[in-house]
């Protein structure tokens, strides 16, 4: 008996060893780092076509946004030759391009259609006119609302609501007994979470992060008004525990029918209209992002782009891949194969001329308009010498945004007053920017 067991054990050992030592044959390889967003996962699925065409093997490193950002920052700043294609946002592209960490992408060929890319999106991924990341998809922000609830309450959503109207609607539609909350907004602290939304709110109230000498403006009246409005609105008419709700949580809440209104990124629209993923697919409608004192749009524009680290030894093949993944043809392939609601939107003008897409996505013209209305140099009333949209395009912003996000979240949770939170935020921003001037 024990002999049989020994034989089985030996066999298992040999199988394990063979499995451990097994390595399939090698082809030229490209390591692609990307975020785990639905659009990127589709790209991964479709990439076997690129592999067939080019004979290149793609290795995918898929990570959550925060881990990926940390990973890429260490990797690229130490010049380690780990990745050949990386996924970065419009915050990183110009900053990293400026430091020479990325390969410029101006030479993808005449057939790439540079003119077809939205100017504002291209500008966001460029430094001094050179594009350092090719846009995969872009987004702006608008207002999602439930037309069935509005109809029932006898309310009508204007094309572009004011924040005062939003407050009135939220008050009337707030029905926590039936798990319907007047408004959902980002409450989770983070420069890419609550701060993204709050920046646009401050812009709407006529404020800005800093003046043209990089002096923080968080103690200004506009900030006090905007943050006061946000804390009041969300604590009265928002879902319980709003300080833990980021983009994802709010999207799930809205899809589950728990929000009457939600102001956030346009990229959730396709998902909310998909009946297999949303309970409100037939009852969701869209309006422009709300305005307050200033009427030049939400000033929200973000795009995810593909870039090549300067340390990559396979930049030529990497360029082929990027060209393939950000082309018009790619968008058409996704639309035809997976349905038009699932295409990566917001990067190319021609997307908004595809009849099938416009039919499937009634929100498309509104998205286009919101993207076009964003101006990198004019977050609010006044011109600034740096990018100011839902983030500020300076390296210190990650840290400042994270800190201010925490303070505002404390105010939302009732642990501090709005004045206290903003005073601390101003002090923190001043400390971070001490001795800093615009180059």
Per CB under 8 A, which region of 56-64, 216-224, 343-351, 381-389 contacts another protein? Answer: 56-64
Residue with tokens 């097994």: 22
Q: Bridge partners of 29?
A: 57
Q: For the purposes of burial, counting CB atoms within 10 Å of the CB of 14, is it exposed (0-12), middle (13-18) or buried (19 or more)?
A: exposed
* List 47, 126, 258, 351, residue binding another protein (CB under 8 A): 258
CB 245 within 8 A of CB 186: yes
Q: Per-residue string for binding with another protein, 4-33, x by CB under 8 A?
A: ------------x--xx----------x-x
CB 211 within 8 A of CB 383: no
Residue with tokens 């060209």: 323
Residue 279, SS3 per DSSP: coil
Question: In terms of CB distance, is 69 or 208 closer to another protein?
Answer: 69
Q: How far is the CB of 59 from another protein (least distance, A)?
A: 4
Per CB under 8 A, which region of 41-49, 198-206, 334-342, 398-406 contacts another protein? Answer: 41-49
Question: In terms of CB distance, is 127 or 321 closer to another protein?
Answer: 321
Count of residues that interact with another protein, criterion CB under 8 A: 42
Q: How far is the CB of 276 from another protein (least distance, A)?
A: 8
Q: Which of residues 221-250 bind another protein (CB under 8 A)?
A: 246-248
Report how far Cα 18 is from the mean position of its chain's Cα atoms: 44
Lookup: tokens for 399 = 């840290």
Q: Does 398 bind another protein (CB under 8 A)?
A: no
Lookup: tokens for 206 = 């006529």
Question: In terms of CB distance, is 17 or 356 closer to another protein?
Answer: 17
Q: How far is the CB of 31 from another protein (least distance, A)?
A: 6
Q: Per-residue string for binding with another protein, 178-207, x by CB under 8 A?
A: -x------------x---------------
Per CB under 8 A, which region of 58-66, 291-299, 348-356, 427-435 contacts another protein? Answer: 58-66
Lookup: tokens for 28 = 């030229």
Per CB under 8 A, which region of 79-87, 117-125, 219-227, 400-408 contacts another protein? Answer: 79-87
Kindly give, in sequence order, each residue whose CB lies less than 8 Å from that of residue 80, ignoring residues fewer than 6 positions away. 74, 311
Per-residue b/e over 75-91, b at no fewer than 16 CB within 10 Å? bbeeeeebbbbbbbbbb
Q: How far is the CB of 364 from another protein (least distance, A)?
A: 19
Residue 27, SS3 per DSSP: coil
Closest CA to 29 of 312, 242, 402, 360: 312
Residue 95, SS3 per DSSP: helix
* List 62, 310, 332, 416, residue binding another protein (CB under 8 A): 62
Q: Per-residue string for binding with another protein, 272-291, x by CB under 8 A?
A: -----x-x------------
Q: How far is the CB of 372 from another protein (least distance, A)?
A: 23
- CA–CA distance, 337 with 334 (Å, rounded to integer): 5
Residue 294, SS3 per DSSP: coil
Q: Bridge partners of 126?
A: 131
- Binding region for another protein (CB under 8 A): 16, 19-20, 31, 33, 35-38, 41, 44-45, 59-67, 70-71, 74, 78, 80, 82-83, 179, 192, 246-248, 251-252, 255-256, 258, 267, 271, 277, 279
């Amino acid at each position: 008996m024990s002999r049989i067991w020994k034989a089985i054990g030996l066999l298992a050992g040999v199988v394990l060893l063979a499995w451990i030592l097994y390595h399939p044959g090698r082809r030229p390889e490209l390591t692609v780092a990307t975020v785990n967003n639905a659009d990127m996962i589709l790209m991964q699925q479709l990439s076997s076509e690129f592999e067939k065409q080019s004979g290149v093997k793609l290795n995918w490193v898929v990570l959550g946004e925060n881990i990926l950002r940390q990973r890429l920052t260490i990797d690229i700043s130490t010049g380690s030759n780990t990745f050949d294609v990386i996924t970065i946002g419009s915050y990183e592209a110009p900053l990293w391009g400026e430091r020479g960490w990325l390969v410029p992408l101006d030479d993808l060929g005449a057939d790439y259609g540079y003119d077809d890319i939205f100017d504002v999106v291209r500008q966001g991924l460029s430094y001094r006119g050179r594009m350092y990341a090719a846009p995969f998809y872009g987004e702006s922000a608008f207002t999602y609302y439930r037309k069935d609830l509005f109809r029932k309450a006898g309310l009508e959503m204007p094309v572009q609501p004011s924040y005062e109207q939003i407050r009135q609607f939220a008050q009337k539609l707030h029905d926590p007994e039936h798990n319907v909350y007047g408004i959902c907004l980002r409450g989770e602290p983070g420069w890419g979470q609550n701060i993204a939304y709050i920046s646009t709110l401050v812009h709407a109230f006529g404020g800005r992060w800093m003046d043209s000498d990089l002096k923080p403006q968080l103690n200004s009246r506009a900030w006090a008004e905007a943050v006061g409005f946000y804390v009041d609105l969300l604590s009265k008419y928002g879902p319980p525990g709003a300080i833990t709700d980021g983009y994802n949580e709010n999207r799930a809440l809205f899809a589950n029918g728990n929000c009457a209104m939600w102001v956030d990124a346009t990229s959730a629209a396709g998902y909310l209209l998909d009946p297999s993923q949303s309970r409100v697919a037939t009852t969701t409608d869209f309006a422009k992002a709300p305005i307050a004192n200033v009427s030049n749009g939400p000033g929200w524009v973000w795009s995810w782009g593909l870039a090549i680290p300067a340390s990559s030894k396979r930049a030529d093949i990497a360029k082929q891949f990027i060209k393939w993944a950000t082309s018009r043809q790619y968008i058409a392939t996704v639309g035809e194969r997976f349905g038009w609601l699932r295409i990566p939107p917001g990067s190319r003008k021609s997307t908004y001329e595809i009849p099938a897409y416009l039919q499937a996505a009634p929100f498309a013209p509104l998205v286009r308009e919101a993207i076009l209305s964003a101006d990198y140099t004019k977050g609010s009333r006044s011109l600034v010498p740096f990018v100011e949209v839902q983030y500020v395009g300076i390296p210190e912003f990650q840290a400042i945004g994270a800190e201010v996000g925490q303070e505002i979240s404390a105010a939302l949770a009732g642990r501090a007053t709005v004045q206290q939170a903003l005073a601390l935020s101003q002090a923190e921003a001043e400390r971070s920017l001490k001795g800093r001037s615009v180059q």
